[in-house]
Amino acid sequence: MRRIPILPFALSVSLSLAMPVGAQLDGLLTAPERTGWVETTRYAEAIAFLQAVADAAPNAHLTRMGYTQEGRAIPLLVVGDVPDASPEAVRASGLLRVYLQGNIHGGEVPGKEALLMLVRELVQEPGSPWLDELVLLVAPVYNADGNERVRLSNRPRQNGPLGGMGQRPNAEGLDLNRDHMKLDSPEARSLVSMLNAYDPEVAVDLHTTNGTRHAYHLTYSPALHPGTAPELDRLLRDEALPRITDAIRRTDGWEYYYYGNARRGPDGEMGWYTFDHRPRFNNNYMGLRNRVAILSEAYAYATLQDRVVATRRFVEEILDWAAVSVSGVRSAIAAAEAPLAGEALPLRATFQGSDEPVAILMGAVEELRHPYTGAIILNRLDSAVATPMREYGTFAATETGRVPSRYLIPEAEEEALDRLHAHGIQTSVLESTFELRGEVFRVDSVSMAEREFQARRERVVHGEWVALDTVLTPGTRVLDTAQPLGRLAFYLLEPRSDDGFANWGILGDSTAPGRWPVLRER
């Protein structure tokens, strides 16, 4: 990988290699810092900011993870005790690899700003205990095209930046936080390429909420798919997130909690509902890759400055925890990557409510007028009312499937094979004829969504697996589920999966009854 060349930067910063790193970066500011928290950092500014950090600090190296639809390089800053930014150097270091991502939605800017500030100050202060144990892979502006589509009307009612912010989707109109399974965007392809090369063990995805007027400065979530390895879920719910929450309450006086929105459920009762379990979402996808995944959602109606600070404090506490939990993280990952053949895993799921109501802190806002558009924006008030409601923060399986030892995929299924390999899933080629004692899925019917979603029509395949003895021809692709990404392969290839290739119309003729093209070995 080559370094991204320096782009024009609005700031004038003199960097002399003879000066200490701290002095070299004096005056290097993000756009919010420079404008009194009115503007957000644009792409060219972010690139030059990262390049300035890399030029000043011997332990910071700037590279790219790939490109956006419009050809913008997606920057990746590697910070740690490594000689360069190459995946080989990072993996050879033996340090715990932590991926920090901001701006998957271009209007949700606190992650981008917090990460820029964090890396600046990290390299300004040598001797950070984080870097004794961790190497950071920092991507502050993942949705670079969306970041540049700034309008004052984006994210209505959000409390700034008043100078405008980017848009939610990428340049194609795709929501990048719905593209982790189908990989339709170049950004998603770039991301999985980076994941396969660097193999981060902890992944943090930084967002901003909208909707519910609660009293938390930030809400968070582990991976939500019920097929996530239980060792990873316990590590976060029982250890990491309680520790982080307590530390921030103690030092900052702010309340953080599990992500949710207050709404009425099918029973008419008010509940605290998390988001979707499906792995199209970054956080859930990382969980199915058997990695520690943490979602951050700063509160939309807090001031921009408070949102950035809240996000940064969350990241700092995550890094504090990760630096003292290397062996625990790696033990959980090793358990998650154990062979799965014969196990029953969820294919479809629904919300699971808590046994008893929990006290959710609900808040209040005031209406203000945007000074440049006159539109109403909402400003958080310092109010918190403990409101009992049942919490729907986890999911339970409504349908399960058995993980086979191997899948057999016809070589003609080029689109599916291309995506499997892009995800990093390994296959081998059958060199000679093979008598298979296996199973085939008999498709009885297919339900198609009436409208397109993310440029595709989702579908549900109905049918069942039945025994089949057949002879496979040379060239057939063999996918052994006893590989690190076997869990992900299962969810991609099973026809009843609610977020796999069948759902997205990627594999075979998934619009009509017939035979599913992928076979399973008994």
Q: 18-22, 201-205, 306-310, 392-396: lowest mean pLDDT where?
A: 18-22
Q: Residue 387 is encoded by which pair of tokens?
A: 């409101």
> Mean pLDDT of all residues in the chain?
95
The span from the CA of 7 to the CA of 471, in Å, is: 58
pLDDT above 70: residue 73: yes
- Neighbouring C-beta atoms of residue 55, cutoff 10 Å: 17
pLDDT above 50: residue 14: no
For range 359-376, the mean pLDDT: 98
For range 411-424, the mean pLDDT: 97
The reported pLDDT for the residue numbered 211 is: 84
Provide the percentage of residues in the chain whose pLDDT is more than 70: 96
The span from the CA of 301 to the CA of 364, in Å, is: 10
114 Cβ contact list (under 8 Å, min separation 6): 102, 206, 308, 309, 311, 312, 315
DSSP secondary structure string for all residues of 151-214? BTTSSTT----TT-B--SS-TTS--GGG-TTT--SHHHHHHHHHHHHH--SEEEEEEE--S--B
Provide the percentage of residues in the chain whose pLDDT is more than 90: 92
* Chain center to CA of 358: 27
From the list 2, 161, 183, 172, the residue with the least C-alpha distance to 84 is: 2
From the list 87, 92, 18, the residue with the least C-alpha distance to 55 is: 18
pLDDT digits (tens, 9 = 90+) for 81-128: 999 999 999 999 999 999 999 999 999 999 999 999 999 999 998 889
For range 259-271, the mean pLDDT: 95
Q: Where are the domains of the chain?
A: 21-347, 404-521
Residues forming a β-bridge with 362: 214, 385
State how far the alpha carbon of 470 is from the alpha carbons of 250, 432, 433, 515, in Å: 64, 14, 10, 14
The span from the CA of 448 to the CA of 435, in Å, is: 35
How open is the CA angle 230-221-342, to the nearest 5 degrees?
Answer: 25
* Chain center to CA of 97: 15
pLDDT digits (tens, 9 = 90+) for 131-161: 999 999 999 999 999 999 999 999 999 999 9
For range 430-450, the mean pLDDT: 95
The span from the CA of 165 to the CA of 267, in Å, is: 38
Give the chain's length. Answer: 522
Instruction: Report the predicted TM-score, pTM, of the whole model to 2 decimal places.
Output: 0.95
436's enclosing H/E stretch is strand 434-448
CATH fold of 21-347, please?
A: Aminopeptidase (3.40.630)
From the list 251, 222, 224, the residue with the least C-alpha distance to 239 is: 222
The span from the CA of 447 to the CA of 440, in Å, is: 20
For range 280-291, the mean pLDDT: 98
pLDDT above 70: residue 510: no
The span from the CA of 141 to the CA of 105, in Å, is: 9
For the stretch 163-202, what's the b/e string if a residue is b when 16 or more beta carbons lie within 10 angstroms of its beta carbon? Answer: bbbbbbbbbbebbbbbbbbbbbbbbbbbbbebbbbbbbbb
Residue 16, classified by CB atoms within 10 Å of its CB into exposed (0-12), middle (13-18) or buried (19+), is exposed
State how far the alpha carbon of 464 is from the alpha carbons of 150, 164, 450, 495, 515, in Å: 49, 51, 24, 9, 10
Q: Residue 95 is encoded by which pair of tokens?
A: 């340090």
Terminal CA-CA length for the chain? 43
For range 3-20, the mean pLDDT: 42
From the list 140, 137, 7, the residue with the least C-alpha distance to 82 is: 137
The reported pLDDT for the residue numbered 11 is: 33
